[in-house]
Structure 1
Amino acid sequence: MPEIAEVARIVNRLRTHLVGKMITKVTPFEDAIVYKDTTHKAFKQALEGKKVLEARQWGKYFWLVMNSSPHPLMHFGMTGWICFQHDSTAHYRATTPEKNPEWPPRFAKFLLQLPDASELAFTDPRRLGRIRLIDHPTGDLRSVSPLLENGPDPVQSPVSVAWLSEKLAARRVPLKAWLLDQSVLAGIGNWVGDEILYHARIHPEQVTNTLDEEMVKRLHGALGYVTGLAVKAEADSSKFPEDWLMLHRWGKGSKKENKLPSGEKIDFVKVGTRTSAYVPGLQKLVGEAVKKRARKVKEVEGGDGEQEEGEGSEAEVKPAPKRRAKAKAVKKEEVGGDVPPPARRSLRGAAKAVKEEPEPKEEESDSESPEVPAKRAKRVR
């Protein structure tokens, strides 16, 4: 998922290719899910013939300040991205530039044409991204919803140790889950959160209100260091230090053992619904969290002990179904009567009994939200 650093990369590309220019043509594609509280037709009408004054970011959100309201506010979701027709290296997953990239790209939601006839496209295969139009006189969308509900952007609005300590003490949740809460800090996703905890030497399952003063200071330093360097590098992994966890974490499930250059082993644990990478030799649970985790490992028979505190996290132990026939036999024995052989159940009775049994619950998915099938929508001319 594009996080604070990947979004910074796109905003910088928008400033290079789009800011200060007129949008000569807008080609939107119908999608009632991605276009949030607006339509593809309204998007075309709002942007076509308008000049882009600025490109801004707050956490995972980014927007264009136009020469007149409304202003387009966007969020990538899981797989969204902005593709530039003549700048294929801008894609955060690309290892080498494509010689002849497909254009328009698949799963495009809109195309913007510039005066030099080049285009850029917003794409989203899983349709979990969002495109909004916000009416605001100045284009400072940080003061309106949905950005109003987001916490500080740790790069643009660094937090203090005192602020961090107060916020941590007010909650009782696993630290990794707390870092991913956008109402607390804007822009931190899975890999950035893991990187912060690794550099702070704190276990992802450590409960927020159990951090001591020294741990809070380490977390504060790692928060500023990781987000600052990641944004400066525009999520280009070739610019990250060799000891960063992010460079060595992607072999989960493969035969190759994940290790840091120092030889420390990388392991994985599920916190909430997200898989977290961490280094057991450097990130250890401390205090009461150790006992709680041990209890959960013991309670969940045959499990891996990776469940977290919170609703639905405890192992459900259902009582065995009562056997009515056996109960009746015991009752007759108690009154001294003869016990007849158990009656043969008819097929109809057996079918009824099967029907009455509750269906098993589905296991929770490891994804943040359900995948929506992608579709190529209609182009508006």
Structure 2
Amino acid sequence: MPELPEVERGRKVAELVALGHQVVRARCADDRIVFCDQSPRTVSTRLKGRSVTAACRHGKQLWLEFDQGPALLLHFGMTGAVHGYSDRSERPRFWKLELEFENGHFLAMPDPRRFGRIRLRDDPRSELPISRLGFDPLLELPTFARFKKLVGRRTISIKGLLLDQSFCAGVGNWIADEILYQAGVAPQRPARTLDDRELKLIRRWLGSIIRKAVSVDSVSERFPRTWLFHHRWGRPEDALTGRGESIQIDTVAGRTTAWVPKVQR
């Protein structure tokens, strides 16, 4: 599932292809699941003739703003993405939306599994679903004092809290595991049991991991070799980290969780 770094990569693509350009045609697949709030025809009609003024993101939500009319809000679900191209023959399979611009370039969102969503919003930041999201760790990582206050006395596991989009927008399963591995905190720990040292480490690694993944456009081969990411996939009983530590696979907060009992307390 695309997490914040993948969606930020999509935002950069959208900005590069679309910013300052006028939509001459908006093609929408007849998919009433992905187009969940407005009909494909309505979306197509409302976007035609509009010029893109901004490509924005909060958490896993991406949107385009225009010189007039509503914004186009995209959520990738499990398999969505943004593709830019200059030849229609490059249109991706399973496309749901394709914008054609006056300069002959295209921007499309494919979504093979149809868990993504395409919506129009007059003011995305103040409307659902964005209005319910917590802080974005790339755009607005809280001070430690604010972070500690947000964690508060919650009884939920720290992994469950990191995955809660109303707490922190954009963190998904592997990023939560990576943060807790690097911070040395067991994913099952109730959030309220964490001391200041542990909270400072979690906050630090939350910002660091997000920034690093974004800086390499979420190309996993370029992630640091010390990351758990490279060794977590599958369920081999003898899986080891790059430091030779045994990896354990459990279910925490309803999600498959890779962690290292030797270093996470």
1:46 and 1:154 map into 2 onto residues whose CA distance is 32
Q: Give the alignment's TM-score, normalised by structure 2.
A: 0.94
User: Which deviates the most, 228-237 or 58-67?
Assistant: 228-237
1:171 aligned onto 2:157: no
| 2:112 corresponds to | 125
Contact 2:159 2:252 (8 Å CA) reproduced? yes
2:184 and 2:103 map into 1 onto residues whose CA distance is 50
* Aligned ranges 1:182-197 → 2 under 5 Å: 182-197=165-180
Q: Which runs of 5+ in 1 are unaligned?
A: 88-100, 285-381
* Matched AA of 1:130: R
1:111 to 87, 98, 111: 98
Partner secondary structure for residue 53 of structure 2:
strand
Contact 2:21 2:103 (8 Å CA) reproduced? no
| 2:40 corresponds to | 40
Cα offset for 1:116? 3.5
1:124 and 1:38 map into 2 onto residues whose CA distance is 17
| 1:313 corresponds to | none
* Aligned ranges 1:1-381 → 2 under 5 Å: 1-85=1-85, 103-136=90-123, 141-250=124-233, 252-254=234-236, 257-284=238-265
2:99 and 2:111 map into 1 onto residues whose CA distance is 15
Q: Deviations over 1:71-92 (max 9, x none)?
A: 11111111111122359xxxxx
Higher strand share: 2
1:231 and 1:81 map into 2 onto residues whose CA distance is 15
* Matched AA of 1:104: R
Cα offset for 1:102? 6.9
Partner secondary structure for residue 246 of structure 1:
helix
Contact 2:84 2:107 (8 Å CA) reproduced? yes
Cα offset for 1:107? 1.6
Partner secondary structure for residue 82 of structure 2:
strand
* Matched AA of 1:272: A
Report the aligned-residue RMSD: 1.8
* Matched AA of 1:246: F
Partner secondary structure for residue 135 of structure 2:
coil
Cα offset for 1:161? 1.5
* Matched AA of 2:261: P
Contact 1:69 1:134 (8 Å CA) reproduced? no
Cα offset for 1:114? 2.1
2:110 and 2:236 map into 1 onto residues whose CA distance is 30
Q: Give the alignment's TM-score, normalised by structure 1.
A: 0.66
Cα offset for 1:103? 4.1
Partner secondary structure for residue 97 of structure 2:
strand
Identical residues among aligned pairs (%): 37
1:207 and 1:12 map into 2 onto residues whose CA distance is 36
Cα offset for 1:239? 2.5
Partner secondary structure for residue 56 of structure 1:
strand
Contact 2:86 2:104 (8 Å CA) reproduced? no
Partner secondary structure for residue 113 of structure 1:
strand
Q: Deviations over 1:99-137 (max 9, x none)?
A: xx974322211111122333222111121111110124x
2:254 and 2:206 map into 1 onto residues whose CA distance is 22
* Matched AA of 2:112: P
Contact 1:62 1:75 (8 Å CA) reproduced? yes
* Matched AA of 1:276: T
1:55 and 1:38 map into 2 onto residues whose CA distance is 21
* Matched AA of 2:47: L
Runs (4+) of structure 1 moved beyond 6 Å? Answer: none
Contact 2:235 2:249 (8 Å CA) reproduced? no
2:241 and 2:86 map into 1 onto residues whose CA distance is 37
* Matched AA of 1:270: T
